[in-house]
Amino acid sequence: MKITKTLTAALLAGTVSLLAVSAAQAVTLRMGNGGEPGSIDPHHAEGDWENRIIGDYIEGLMTEDANAEAIPGQAESFTVSDDGLVYTFKLRDGIQWSDGTPVTAGDFVFAFQRLFDPATASSYAYLQYPIKNAEAIASGEITDFAELGVKAVDDTTVEITLENPTPYFLQALTHYTAFPVPKHKVEELGDDWTKIENVVGNGPYVLKEWVPGSFLRSEKNPDYYDAANVAIDEVYYDNTEDTTAAFNAYIAGELDILTAFPPDQYQWLQDNRPGEAHVEPFLGVYYYVMNQEEGPLTDVRVREALSISVNREVIGPDILTTGEIAAYGWVPPGTANYDGEAYMPDWASEDYGSRVERAKALMAEAGYSPENPLNLQLRYNTNEAHQRIAVALSAMWEPLGVNIELFNAEVAVHYDALQAGDFQIGRAGWLLDYSDAANTLDLLKGGTQQGDTMNWGNNYGRYNNEEFDALMDKAAAELDLTARAAILHEAEALAMDDFAAMPIYWYVSKNIVSPAIEGFVDNPSDIHRTRWLSKSE
C-alpha cells in the first residue's frame, strides 16, 4: 500500500517536473558531482562536492569569480584598517534570503557564532581561526559569544577583527565556513533548517529537490542581485561515486561536467574527444610520510636514500597518465604570497642512475644491503591511484635492498594509524585550504603538549625541528609579505634538506567539460561556480 503510494507520488512528481521543464525551455546543467553530500549546512560540510552545492545556494561576504579569485559577494565594498586587523564590510542593498527575509549583518554575526560554538561541532571551523577569539570560543575557554571578533555595526555593516594580520583572509572568507546562515530559520528549526523543505539561501540558486543517494536539484534564484547575468536555469548535482559509471554517462551525453574521471581514460579522451579533459595544476601536494619518531626512518640517510631513489618523472606521465608534475619541494607552484625561487634540491637535476648508486651507498652506510634488507611496511588508503604509486615506489626501492610490504585500508583506518604514529611509511596528501604557503608548511611543525599527550596534528611523520618551528613563528609575526615569503622559503628548504617528508607530485584537477559549456575557466583552486557558466544547446 505504502509502496504504491510512493510510486504514484514519484510518477506524479516526475510528470510534473517534466511538464515544468518543457514549458520553460530551461537551460539545465548536469554535473557529475562525485559524492553524496554529508551535509548542505555550511558549518557541517567537509568536501569539495558539498562546496559545489553550497556555494551555489549561499554566498558569503566575499565570493569567487570565474578564476576563483576573491571578489565582493554579499558585501558591496570593504575597507581594511592600516594594521591589517579590522575588516569592515558594507552589505549590498536589497539582498534577501529566498523566502523574502532580508539578509542582514546579524545573519553573519549569528553564523560565525554558530560556527565556533562547541555545540555545533563544526569540523572545519579552524579555517576561520584568524578571527579574534575564535579558537578560544571553539575550545570552550570563552563562553561569551559577544567576545568574538565579528560584530554588526548596523544592519548593513559587518566588522571583523583578527588576532593577527592575515594576508589570505579575504580568500578565506570565500570558504563555506564563512557563509551566513538564515538566523530566523536556524533559530526556529535548529539543525533541521537544512531539510530540503525548509532550506533557504541567498546565492544565485535555490535548492529545490534532494533525492538522497541519487541527486540534488536547484533552480536559478530570481531575486539574486546578479540574476540577470546567470545563464543556467537549473542544476542537477549527480551524486554517483562510481567514476566508471559516471564516465559512461558523460560519453552518452547524460552529464555535462565530470569533476573526476578514471585515469586510464585520459588518453582515450585526448584521442576521441580532444579538448574536453581539463587537467590543470591544482594547489596540493601528494606525499609520503616517514615515521621519524621510532624505527629505521629516524636515520636521515635512509630517508634521503628512499627519497632520491624515487623517479618522480615517470609517475605522472606513465603510471597515472594524467601528467601530474613531479614534486621536489613542499609548497605547490602558484601559491599566493610566496614570491621567490621555488625550492629545488640539487639531486633533482642529477642523473637518475647515479642517484640510485648514491642511494645504495647511503643505505650501505646505514647498514642495509640486498643481503641484509630493510623491511618496511607502506600504508595507503584503498584507491586505485594510491595503489599504483605504492607498487611503483616499492619496485624503485627494491634495488636498494628495501623490502616493502604493502598495506591498504579504508580512509578511517589509514588516517587513524597515521595520526597515532602507528606506521613506517604512509601515503598522505594535502590540498590547500587557501592559497598561502604557511598552509602546507604548518604540516611539518612540531607537536604541542596537551595534557599528558603530544598533539602532532597533521604532522604524521612527527618531524621535529626547533629551528623550523622558530622560523614558522617568525613568519607568522611578519607583516611585510615579501619578508614573510623569504622566511617561509628558508623554512621549506630546511625541512626538505632534512627529508622531513617525501613529496611525490603536485596534484592536478581533473575535470571533463562538454563543449556545450562555456565560461569554465581552469584555475588552481578548482572552483567553478555555476553562475559563471553557460550552455549552448
Q: Measured between alpha carbons, how far is 433 from 441 in angstroms, rounded to an integer?
A: 12
Cell numbers given for 468? 623550523
Mark the segment that binds another protein (CB under 8 A) among 294-302, 312-320, 368-376, 493-501: 312-320
Selected from 213, 274, 275, 353, the binder of another protein by CB under 8 A is 213
Give the number of residues in contact with another protein, rule: CB under 8 A: 93
**How many angstroms separate the CA atoms of 124 and 433, rounded?**
10
Residues in 435-464 that interact with another protein by CB under 8 A: 450, 455-458, 460
Q: Which of 81, 164, 248, 482 binds another protein (CB under 8 A)?
A: 248
| Site residues (CB under 8 A) for another protein, limited to 371-390 | 382-384, 387-388, 390
Could you write out the DSSP letters of every residue in 334-360?
Answer: T-TT--SPPP--GGGGS-HHHHHHHHH
Among the residue ranges 71-79, 187-195, 354-362, 499-507, the one whose residues contact another protein (CB under 8 A): 187-195
422 burial type by CB count under 10 A (0-12 exposed, 13-18 middle, 19+ buried): exposed
Residues near 334 by beta carbon (within 8 Å), at least 6 away in sequence: 281, 283, 435, 524
Q: Are 284 and 331 in contact (CB under 8 A)?
A: no
- Which of positions 387-406 make contact with another protein (CB under 8 A)? 387-388, 390-392, 394-395, 406
Nearer to another protein, 155 or 191 (CB): 191
For residue 502, the cross-strand partners are 288
Q: Which of 66, 409, 481, 493 lies at the binding interface for another protein (CB under 8 A)?
A: 409
Q: Is residue 1 at the binding interface for another protein, with CB under 8 A as the rule? A: no
The least distance separating another protein from the CB of residue 237, rounded to whole angstroms, comes to: 11
Query: From the list 166, 221, 265, 509, which residue makes contact with another protein (rule: CB under 8 A)?
Result: 265
Amino acid at 384: E
Is the Cβ of residue 379 or residue 484 nearer to another protein in the bound state? Answer: 379
Q: What is the spatial distance between Cα 428 and Cα 29, in angstroms, rounded to a whole number?
A: 34
Site string for another protein, 77-106 (x = CB under 8 A): ------------------------------
Site for another protein contains 314 (CB under 8 A): yes
Give the CB-side neighbour count of residue 77, counting CA atoms within 13 A: 1
Q: CB-wise, 134 or 471, nearer to another protein?
A: 134
What letter would DSSP give residue 153?
E
User: Which amino acid would we find at residue 7?
Assistant: L
Among 27, 251, 325, 364, binds another protein (CB under 8 A): 251
Residues 139-168 that bind another protein (CB under 8 A): 139-140
With CB under 8 A as the contact rule, which of the stretches 64-72, 179-187, 236-244, 300-308 interacts with another protein?
236-244
Q: Which of 110, 123, 99 has the alpha carbon at shortest distance from 43?
A: 123
Burial of residue 152 (CB within 10 Å: 0-12, 13-18, 19+) is: middle
Q: Does 264 bind another protein (CB under 8 A)?
A: yes
Q: How far is the CB of 523 from another protein (least distance, A)?
A: 22
End-to-end Cα distance, the chain: 42
Handedness of CA 161, 163, 164, 170 (dihedral sign): negative
Q: Does 337 bind another protein (CB under 8 A)?
A: no
Rule CB under 8 A: choose which of 120, 157, 270, 534 binds another protein: 120
